[in-house]
Structure 1
Amino acid sequence: MTAHDVGLLMLDLALILVLARVGGWLARKVGQPPVIGEIIAGIALGPTIIGPHLSTLLVPVDLRVPLSALANVGLVLFMFIVGYELDHTLIRGRERVAVSVSVGSIILPSVLGITLALWLADRHGVSADDRLPFVLFLGAAMSITAFPVLARILTDRGMHRTRLGGLALASAAVDDVIAWSLLAVVVTVAGASAEAQWHVLLALPFVALMFFVVRPLLRRLLPVHARAGRLTPPVLAVILIGLLLSAYAAEWLGVHVIFGAFIFGAVMPREGGEALRQDILEKLEQVSVLLLLPVFFFVSGIKVDLRNVGLSGLGELALILVVAISGKFVGAFVGARLQRVPLRQSFALATLMNTRGLTEIVILTVGLQLGILDSSLFSLMVVMAIVTTVMAGPLLSAFYSKRRIERDIAEAERASLGTVAARRVFAVVDDPATQKADVELAAALVGAQRPAEVVLSRLLPYRSPALEVGTGLSGELAEMARSLEETERLAARVRRDDLPVPVLSRFSSDVEHDLALQIEASGPDVVVFRSSRPGMGPVVAGELVTVASGLPERPSAVGVGWGTDADSVAALRAAALIAAARRLPLVISDSGRRASAAATELTRHGVATSVGAVPSDALVVAGGVELAEGEHVAVRAALDADASPIGDWIGMVPVEVPVPA
């Protein structure tokens, strides 16, 4: 390359990047995955939209060879990510449904695709020698589901936390394994040269070597990464070298570089490796998403030429769309219904399994490189990939509205709480490091009633845009693992044999809204949260306990004001429960006759109670929603509660706790 060619290459890369970012932004604005906009941006630089002359002027033919090399590197990185993000834990507990849906969504479109290929073979001049790989390839290409795009759709809608989302991820994961295995066989049949056919015999030993030798070696990277606390250059270098060698080995075996990259991603360590996976994806996004994948979209897009598609071509496109959409939809739908998945969820599953996206483009590009597809059929198949991906989002919204998704999330969280408790205290955790006293207070409010439970809820706001590369799941997994570990440590402080403490933790784009849905779904008797959430009062039907950000570490007593309204009675009950749990005396700041009678009754029950001035170092409980100066806990009664006498609730106070002298 001359210096002039190098300059033009830099200019063309800048042009490709600008169009890719603009296309991705526009696609996101209309509710589509950014990859759709980037694919269309690549096509926009090809002959279909701007014509062959302008396309050649913008990107000269001499520069397309180095661009193709960059595109292949991007392809290898992308396939590594696809393999890396396949996780067998997605399938656990859903094996029967996942296998049924995935097998149905592979067999039917493959059979229909093979039938269509037999008709297309003559129309596209496929020779008798090439007919078998052509027919098999088209059948396999029709059966593809884009696992990264499907997962991105689910994560963007929060559906991956629902039963439907779990089934879709599991089905797509099984589909990916089966479909890629079939494609590897087809590509091997089509691409192996006569002198290298014996290499294919080493494919199975190669896979075994990767899983049983390379995978254990890669696990040794986890402690190295953990000690460093970040992805160091030596660790990343080891991974990239292994990836490139695996891709070369696959090509030498007569399969294709993409399968070597996929296998290397599949053998990367999963258990305990969430942080490593997130760090790798963050590094790869900077190179792969921003530069190499847009170049791949361009290299593929300039090969799409729809200028000469006449009525005959439109007829072929219509048949391709019918086979691709109906085969995948009907196969997945029947597979789901055979496992008694509800009708609406079966429709939604079938819609999701129809997403093809970038994964389909990758496969079609391989078919074009191997000479299985000609340029006209490649162009029609690319249109099919775009259409099936674009329609997935709107169809899913039609089958599964946002309200239904929220209801499914609430049902999943309600199911995780187990059996109905006689008393349920719901504690909102914002910062586990500073809320140990809050959780202990929540446990104290349970009292003596059984069965009972304390539910700890921690909703994490999305702090930054999700990674554009991959499924969007691994970043959540890493941060969620940390969140669960921190919240579980809090739960362990108060968990006992007779007091379960389930933990609810997930991401939320609207924390206040989702928190209200959680509270409504769990139906708690008491909700405990920090004073930083003043707007939650109207959405809590049960008793509402507001806690100050700094509770006394070693209070000498629990103080409470006297009153006859519902809030004051609720505050007295809460103060008695806290005093009993902490083995502290209770002081009622009133010397009236009724307050004295209450103190006598509480003392008789086992809580040392007196009337008078509240000590300055006491933990002060008051009735109401807002905390006044000097108050640590505010208690608002349940919305439908009346001011009940002590005799109605004194049995909640544990009597086995010794009263301090």
Structure 2
Amino acid sequence: MLRADVLLLDLVIVLGAARLLGRLARRVGQPPVIGEIVAGILLGPTLLGPWIGDDLFGPDMRPALSALADVGLILFMFVVGLEIDQKLVRGKGKVAASIALGSTSVPFALGALLALGLAGRHAHGRTTAFVLFMGAAMSATAFPVLARILTDRQMHRTTLGGLALASAAVIDVVAWTVLAVVVGIAGAEASTGQWQVLLAVPYTAVMLLVARPLLARLVPAFDRAGRLTPGLLSMVLLGLIASAWATEWMHVHFIFGAFLFGVVMPREGAERLNHQILERLEQLAVLLLLPMFFVVSGLNVDLRTLTVSSLGVLAAILAVAIGGKLAGSYLGARLRRVPARQSSALAILLNTRGLTEIVILTVGLQKGVLDGELYSLMVLMALITTAMTGPLLRRVYPDRRVARDIAEAERAALGVTAAHRVLAVVPGNPVDAVDADPLAGLAAALASARTPSEVVLAHLQPYPHGRLEVGAGLSFELAEMAETMGALEALAARVRERGPNARVVSRFSAQPGAELPGLVLSAQPDLVVVPRDAPGHERIVAEAACRTVTVLPGAYDAAGPVAVHHGSGDAAAHVALQLALAMGRPLVVVGRGRAASLAQRLARLGVDATAAAGPPADALVITPESAVPPPGAHLLVRAEQDADPVDWAGVTRARAEG
């Protein structure tokens, strides 16, 4: 009989253990999913045994816990389907297909051969389904865990990281397709009369051809509402659960209906919609229901029943799983002429199994394809192959190579150009920042002093505070980055309207203040514009090999003339003249004596320049860089090393000719 008090106590124990061991796993550099599965194993019969274990997680409690775990699995598979995006494969199709083919075919074939040897003891009369299932389980790669490993090491912005994500996305689609076929065969072997399984193919066609266009109507409804309303979210949840029910009724498995519904969700123009859906669902799925699934999966593992012969089977499973995956992935990459070191790193990354493997094994256990002993051994394989990825990757592809790849990718994105390059550091979130547009305008004005010219909008996106730790991969970060990139591209378009070309460089960063100076150096700009409150401001100014302009609070509100103190140095006066000419504002030279003569000289050159004892109240005041800015200053200019004296006539002539 189900007791509510025991069920609630189980929830407390499960969630507490999952969070604790998940945090411990992250502390030692492992994905939290490893700690959560270990928590389930420790709470199961392996440690607690039949005494305490049967009282807390006995036969009466398992159905309720499994029901909660199934709901979490439905939401998770929806997220996995939603993350499958053609953009990941764009431009990498042939290489990704070759790697995916090697990464699935070799371990599949070896897994099937191993299954033939184990069939007499573990197939229980269902040899065909057992052999195909073992092949599919050996060839899986966990896209979400792989994506998290790449983002943690900042490799998702490199060519290698992009290729790994593209290959894993292809493998994911192949793995779920093969598993659906295997489950259908298993259902047919288990009993006769399950004609519903034949509906799986037409159901997939209906979802792609009918449901997808209908779901696209959610986008204009969302745009009209301006937010994800309860009605819109209810429609998504109803469709999701209905799709999961349909595939379960067909004797395939509910995970395929959930996954397929995520695949057919709209993509074009739906970034904000999907972002808000994920934001709502992940809090519930990732923090409550998905850990429940991992722990329930661990409860089904009983290591006490393993014998010496079981250890031999485990060794064979590890040899096939690791050797097949590494060899197949490496060969697939080398066939497309990927360098040897990068091919090795790809093979290690694609050996990650984690979440995807646990889901596949759970399906096999539920459908009776795996028995308890082999399920326990395969779960151990999933844990070992996932845990070994991080340490092996650091050995084969150390951090210094990752840093070099990031710099090369950023230089490649900027290209080689003879244009006068002004780099503007965009701090914070450009989606909400009210100063982002004036900052871009300031950079455009400074760039337009020469032709050809370009503005680089540089932005490092910090990971969200308290980011979800369990396993929805990149879904939240990708959605947030898509929104950020949209805002930055809109800024770039407004810069282009002012004349200069504009480019965007943006990526995730765990420490923007530490990484921004390196980003600035790799761009090789001629001028840097950086707000005083930008992370890493002092290092950027100190290490830049070019002139820098620091923007102080209040600069964007100064709508009057451009003012510069006489004697403040050629660099500050030069920037003041450039801005006055580009913005069409008068130039005020502050000071006495020589200030008036400089103003007269500039006036003879056609500049609207005057002298004054002090800057006007609404002036944009420009001074040299100093530790303590003078009162009323708006822009602080630091000269480049070995700067030549300014040719004032040349500046005005170049401006006129431009």
Same fold per superposition (TM over 0.5) = yes
* CA–CA separation in structure 2 for the residues paired with 1:189 and 1:26: 40
Residue of structure 1 equivalent to 2:166: 170
8 Å Cα contact 1:147/1:471 also seen in 2: no
- Report the alpha carbon displacement of residue 85 of structure 1 after superposing the two structures with TM: 1.6
- Report the alpha carbon displacement of residue 599 of structure 1 after superposing the two structures with TM: 4.8
8 Å Cα contact 1:218/1:268 also seen in 2: yes
User: What's the RMSD between the two structures over aligned residues?
Assistant: 2.5
Residue of structure 2 equivalent to 1:15: 13
Q: Are 1:571 and 2:575 counterparts?
A: no
Residue of structure 2 equivalent to 1:358: 355
Residue of structure 1 equivalent to 2:332: 335
Q: Residue 482 of structure 1: SS of its match in structure 2?
A: helix
Write the letter of the residue equivalent to 2:533: S
* CA–CA separation in structure 1 for the residues paired with 2:217 and 2:604: 63
Write the letter of the residue equivalent to 1:426: L
Residue of structure 2 equivalent to 1:144: 140
Residue of structure 1 equivalent to 2:30: 32
Unmatched 5+ stretches in structure 1? none
Q: Residue 285 of structure 1: SS of its match in structure 2?
A: helix
Residue of structure 2 equivalent to 1:540: 544
- Report the alpha carbon displacement of residue 555 of structure 1 after superposing the two structures with TM: 5.0
Residue of structure 1 equivalent to 2:631: 629
8 Å Cα contact 1:355/1:392 also seen in 2: yes
Structure 1 residues 577-633: Cα deviation after superposition (integer angstroms, max 9, x where no partner):
11211233333335556x677556544543244455355143322223453112222
Write the letter of the residue equivalent to 1:131: T
Unmatched 5+ stretches in structure 2? none
Write the letter of the residue equivalent to 2:131: V
Residue of structure 2 equivalent to 1:474: 475
Residue of structure 1 equivalent to 2:221: 224
Q: Residue 442 of structure 2: SS of its match in structure 1?
A: helix
- Report the alpha carbon displacement of residue 647 of structure 1 after superposing the two structures with TM: 6.2
- Report the alpha carbon displacement of residue 134 of structure 1 after superposing the two structures with TM: 1.1
Write the letter of the residue equivalent to 1:78: F
Residue of structure 2 equivalent to 1:344: 341
8 Å Cα contact 1:587/1:613 also seen in 2: no
* Pairing partner for 1:558 from 546, 553, 562: 562
451-460 or 218-227, larger mean C-alpha shift: 218-227
* Pairing partner for 1:135 from 131, 149, 153: 131
* CA–CA separation in structure 2 for the residues paired with 1:529 and 1:619: 16
Residue of structure 2 equivalent to 1:154: 150
* Pairing partner for 1:186 from 182, 186, 205: 182
511-520 or 449-458, larger mean C-alpha shift: 449-458
Q: Residue 427 of structure 1: SS of its match in structure 2?
A: strand
8 Å Cα contact 2:587/2:610 also seen in 1: yes
Structure 1 residues 498-533: Cα deviation after superposition (integer angstroms, max 9, x where no partner):
621112233322122221111011011111122335
Residue of structure 2 equivalent to 1:115: 113
Q: Are 1:200 and 2:197 counterparts?
A: yes
Residue of structure 2 equivalent to 1:433: 434
Kindly tell me: are residues 125 and 15 of structure 1, through their superposed partners in 2, closer, same or farther at Cα, counting changes over 3 Å?
closer
Structure 1 residues 433-490: Cα deviation after superposition (integer angstroms, max 9, x where no partner):
2244433332222244333211122333334222345544232233333333333333
Kindly tell me: are residues 425 and 286 of structure 1, through their superposed partners in 2, closer, same or farther at Cα, counting changes over 3 Å?
closer
* CA–CA separation in structure 2 for the residues paired with 1:652 and 1:368: 79
Q: How does 1:56-67 map to 2 (within 5 A)?
A: 56-67=54-65
Write the letter of the residue equivalent to 2:11: L
* CA–CA separation in structure 2 for the residues paired with 1:434 and 1:125: 65
Residue of structure 2 equivalent to 1:613: 613
8 Å Cα contact 1:146/1:355 also seen in 2: yes
Kindly tell me: are residues 215 and 428 of structure 1, through their superposed partners in 2, closer, same or farther at Cα, counting changes over 3 Å?
same
* CA–CA separation in structure 1 for the residues paired with 2:438 and 2:277: 38
Q: Residue 433 of structure 1: SS of its match in structure 2?
A: coil
- Report the alpha carbon displacement of residue 350 of structure 1 after superposing the two structures with TM: 0.9
8 Å Cα contact 2:531/2:552 also seen in 1: yes
* CA–CA separation in structure 2 for the residues paired with 1:166 and 1:13: 39
* CA–CA separation in structure 2 for the residues paired with 1:420 and 1:496: 20
- Report the alpha carbon displacement of residue 320 of structure 1 after superposing the two structures with TM: 0.6
8 Å Cα contact 2:355/2:471 also seen in 1: no
Q: Residue 61 of structure 1: SS of its match in structure 2?
A: coil
* CA–CA separation in structure 2 for the residues paired with 1:465 and 1:424: 37
Q: Are 1:373 and 2:370 counterparts?
A: yes
Write the letter of the residue equivalent to 2:417: V
The percent identity for this pair of structures is: 54
* CA–CA separation in structure 2 for the residues paired with 1:448 and 1:425: 11
13-22 or 440-449, larger mean C-alpha shift: 440-449
8 Å Cα contact 1:552/1:618 also seen in 2: no
Count the aligned residue pairs.
Answer: 648
* CA–CA separation in structure 2 for the residues paired with 1:343 and 1:651: 55
* CA–CA separation in structure 1 for the residues paired with 2:653 and 2:185: 74
* CA–CA separation in structure 2 for the residues paired with 1:370 and 1:435: 55
Q: Residue 501 of structure 2: SS of its match in structure 1?
A: coil
8 Å Cα contact 1:448/1:651 also seen in 2: no
- Report the alpha carbon displacement of residue 167 of structure 1 after superposing the two structures with TM: 0.9
* CA–CA separation in structure 1 for the residues paired with 2:14 and 2:560: 70
Q: Are 1:394 and 2:391 counterparts?
A: yes
* CA–CA separation in structure 2 for the residues paired with 1:64 and 1:238: 30
8 Å Cα contact 2:286/2:468 also seen in 1: no
Q: How does 1:138-537 map to 2 (within 5 A)?
A: 138-192=134-188, 194-430=191-427, 432-468=433-469, 470-496=471-497, 499-533=500-534, 535=538, 536-537=540-541
Q: TM-score, normalised by structure 1?
A: 0.92
* CA–CA separation in structure 2 for the residues paired with 1:396 and 1:22: 26
- Report the alpha carbon displacement of residue 176 of structure 1 after superposing the two structures with TM: 0.6
8 Å Cα contact 1:568/1:624 also seen in 2: no
Q: Residue 456 of structure 2: SS of its match in structure 1?
A: strand
582-591 or 360-369, larger mean C-alpha shift: 582-591
Kindly tell me: are residues 90 and 372 of structure 1, through their superposed partners in 2, closer, same or farther at Cα, counting changes over 3 Å?
same
Q: Residue 327 of structure 2: SS of its match in structure 1?
A: helix
* CA–CA separation in structure 1 for the residues paired with 2:464 and 2:241: 33
* CA–CA separation in structure 2 for the residues paired with 1:64 and 1:615: 77
* CA–CA separation in structure 2 for the residues paired with 1:29 and 1:364: 27
318-327 or 253-262, larger mean C-alpha shift: 253-262
- Report the alpha carbon displacement of residue 336 of structure 1 after superposing the two structures with TM: 1.3
Q: How does 1:87-126 map to 2 (within 5 A)?
A: 87-122=85-120, 124-126=121-123
Q: Residue 91 of structure 2: SS of its match in structure 1?
A: coil
Structure 1 residues 318-358: Cα deviation after superposition (integer angstroms, max 9, x where no partner):
11101101111111111112222222222221111111112
* CA–CA separation in structure 1 for the residues paired with 2:341 and 2:551: 43
Q: Are 1:54 and 2:52 counterparts?
A: yes
Structure 1 residues 101-149: Cα deviation after superposition (integer angstroms, max 9, x where no partner):
1111000001111111111123x1535x521111111011100001111
Q: Residue 98 of structure 1: SS of its match in structure 2?
A: helix
* CA–CA separation in structure 2 for the residues paired with 1:525 and 1:390: 45
8 Å Cα contact 2:180/2:256 also seen in 1: yes
Write the letter of the residue equivalent to 1:33: P
8 Å Cα contact 1:537/1:625 also seen in 2: no
Residue of structure 1 equivalent to 2:584: 583
8 Å Cα contact 1:605/1:655 also seen in 2: no
230-239 or 356-365, larger mean C-alpha shift: 230-239
